[in-house]
Chain A
Amino acid sequence: EDQVTQSPEALRLQEGESSSLNCSYTVSGLRGLFWYRQDPGKGPEFLFTLYSAGEEKEKERLKATLTKKESFLHITAPKPEDSATYLCAVQSGAQKLVFGQGTRLTINP
């Protein structure tokens, strides 16, 4: 059974304080690992797809990396507008996404 575990559950940072969010997974044949951002009262917004170990993707202050067992979402010099819940999901041969429970990130000015 595919499983995704995200840590920490919640993270509070000061503006400019860089950190990383973790997504550990077990899957039978990874077809893709996806990162989403979710703001309160909104649907998840797609950020990145990673397909193979060693792959990296960047967008503004965010960088996602992938190994065979986990993915990290690195946030560099975050701003208050980066506050959101970040979701990780994996897709296996079943073609359906399995989501982690998310990390709630708060950036204080």
Chain B
Amino acid sequence: IAGITQAPTSQILAAGRRMTLRCTQDMRHNAMYWYRQDLGLGLRLIHYSNTAGTTGKGEVPDGYSVSRANTDDFPLTLASAVPSQTSVYFCASSPTGANQPQHFGDGTRLSIL
């Protein structure tokens, strides 16, 4: 079934450790996105990529980095995790960045202790 695969599904991580969340899509969508979802704050955009080889900053980019080496993969890296990065992280994709719905994976639940 076509869609977005995120890994791991959940993770507990010590503060200060480096962590990469993986996201792969098989829909050949050009645009991909990373969001975090926190109670009371809703979904907030961290980083996005309109096409392979390009990335951009969203609303809450500090402490996170992304890369887009090819169309299918869009990993999110926390270089040195802090407790405030405890959240549920969702990856999404859309055919292009404009006027089209985004399709989401089932998320990674990350706890930073």
Contacts and interface: CB of A to CB of B under 8 A. Distances in A.
Interface of A: 31-32, 34, 36, 41-46, 49, 51, 87, 89, 91, 95-97, 99-102
Interface of B: 4, 33, 40-45, 48, 50, 58, 90, 92, 97-107
Contacts of B105: 43
> Taking chain B's interface residues, is the majority helix, strand, or loop, or is none over half, making it mixed?
loop
Contacts, number: 54
A46 B42 contact: no
B96 to A, nearest CB: 9
B43 A32 contact: no
Given A51-B99, A91-B99, A96 B58 contact: yes
Contacts of B103: 46
Nearest to B58: A96
